[in-house]
Amino acid sequence: MNDVDELLAYLKGESGFDRLLPKLIDRYRSLGRIGGSIKLSGLKPNEKEAFTTFFRKDYTHQSSATISFKSFEEALLKTKFAGVTIIEILEAYAGSKVITKKAELESNHRIKEQFFYEQINKHPALSMWLHYVKEKGRGTRRLHALYDENRLQLEEIFRNVDNALSKLPKEGSQFERLPFFSQKVTKDPHAFDLDTEQGKAFLNILQFLLLQKGELSFINSLPSSEEANDILQSFHLLRDDLLNFVTCTGLIGYDQKGVHPVWESANDSKSMINFPLREIIKLEQCRPFSGQAVFIVENSGVASAILDRWPFPYPPPLICTHGQFKLAALLLIDMLVKNMVTIFYSGDFDPEGLQMAQRLKKRAPNSVVLWRYDLDSYYKSLSKKEIKEDRLSILSSIDLEELQVVKQDMLAKKQPGYQEELVHDLIHDMKKGLVIS
């Protein structure tokens, strides 16, 4: 048995060293060199005895001990193991080479760099995006976490995303439903569901491609449902075309043959109809039945109340979004905007309502008018409910100038306002054709 093995047997045979040696190893790894000291609190009797013997210093009355590498080295020099270095004993105790954390990080970085370069060589169509991922661009944090957790899964994601890009619907082709596209690419209809790691990666690269084409100003790490739908739509992909619908009346839709008979019949019967995305994408254009204004309300109850009290023989040009904007509603609004229609939007006075109003205004700033988003309307619609702090934080994203006054009062009052209190005013505005904004 050589000196190192003999010293190791001694140290492992003394339970009093069970805490000291691992702490010395951690200290060396963190510091990157032999130096400094470690502290042990709550010394046990066996530790006091072992330290007193080894360091030739009385620890029997101490509750804690600060032990430096220097004192450990000096203690070794006074034994028959003077020729053994601290590194030798630390590595013998650890059972392997002790690598400093800095060296470990550098090694891991080299391995990770090599991994990404291998992926870039395997998937040249993804090369620019993979460089973006490698450099930890926006929205790629989870991919780096996946590198640490399951590298094989990450490789599979890159492989499937590469395959997906090669099978994207061509420009000008028919829209393709995302589940069927996923089935075509991977034989799994849920492979690119947006709540999966692969779906998020797919959405990230689509944003990256839009950014490269100048059609997107930045990549959103957590795109909203509306934003995700918009991104997919840019590549002729649809998440769902039946449950995704818009409710409207008083509008006329046109397809290749002219006026669409269903839209015409809906107006003749003054019916409010749910039009699924499947039917919306068949339209070439849309306009109000009369005039050049369309009114949008957020809540279905408010839309029904307006129709109940509408005094004229023809239906009002009215859209109900049922809360968050679905792609069907956004495409319909886009068609109206192309026809130079003015869009008047009214929603609830809560953080989400202001967020939706801002989103629509920014989508079509020259066509959308925020309807009854003034301070008087906020106070008139005020509820006794309290807005929780986590929801109030949403208001930090509201930067539209015309919403600032309401935003500040909402932050102060912490109370929402609801459209239901404004139905009379909304109908009054619509009847007169004059909207107070």
- Do 385 and 415 meet the contact criterion of CB atoms below 8 Å apart? yes
Positive or negative CA dihedral for 382, 388, 389, 395? negative
pLDDT at residue number 3: 87
Interval 377-398 mean pLDDT: 93
pLDDT digits (tens, 9 = 90+) for 137-155: 999 999 999 999 999 999 9
> Could you write out the DSSP letters of every residue in 16-40?
GGTTHHHHHHHHHHHHSSS--EEEE
pLDDT digits (tens, 9 = 90+) for 280-334: 999 999 999 989 999 999 999 999 999 999 998 889 999 999 987 888 999 999 9
pLDDT at residue number 217: 79
Interval 121-136 mean pLDDT: 97
Interval 397-401 mean pLDDT: 93
Interval 372-390 mean pLDDT: 95
This prediction has a pTM of 0.65
pLDDT at residue number 165: 97
Six-digit token string for 432: 């007169």
Q: How many CA atoms lie within 13 A of 301 on its CB side?
A: 6
Which amino acid does the sequence have at 135? E
pLDDT digits (tens, 9 = 90+) for 12-26: 988 999 999 999 999
- Do 142 and 197 meet the contact criterion of CB atoms below 8 Å apart? yes
Six-digit token string for 140: 């790629």
Among residues 275, 274, 406, 412, the alpha carbon closest in space to that of 353 is found at: 406
pLDDT digits (tens, 9 = 90+) for 191-238: 999 999 999 999 999 999 999 988 877 899 999 887 898 899 889 998
Task: Report the interhelical angle of 151-166 vs 101-122 (nearest 10°).
Answer: 30
pLDDT digits (tens, 9 = 90+) for 327-358: 899 999 999 999 999 999 999 999 999 999 99
Interval 406-425 mean pLDDT: 96
pLDDT at residue number 313: 87
* Length of the chain in terms of residues written: 437
Label residue 436 by pLDDT band (50, 70, 90): very low
Interval 108-126 mean pLDDT: 97
- Do 337 and 311 meet the contact criterion of CB atoms below 8 Å apart? no
Higher pLDDT, 252 or 170: 252
pLDDT at residue number 229: 87
Across the chain, mean pLDDT equals: 93
- Do 170 and 163 meet the contact criterion of CB atoms below 8 Å apart? no
* 337 CB-near residues (< 8 Å, 6+ apart): 343, 364, 367
Burial class of residue 376 in the structure, from the number of CB atoms within 10 Å of its CB (0-12 exposed, 13-18 middle, 19+ buried): exposed
Domains of the chain: 3-98 (no CATH), 102-238 (no CATH), 245-432 (3.40.1360.10)
Write the DSSP symbol of residue 421: G
CA angle 399-401-402, nearest 5°?
A: 120
pLDDT digits (tens, 9 = 90+) for 75-92: 999 989 888 999 999 999
Percent residues over pLDDT 90 in the chain: 82
Find the distance separating the first CA and the last CA of the chain, reported in whole Å.
91
Interval 377-395 mean pLDDT: 93
Beta 237-238 vs 176-177: how paired, if at all? parallel
The alpha helices in 255-308, defined as continuous H runs, are: 261-268, 277-280, 300-308
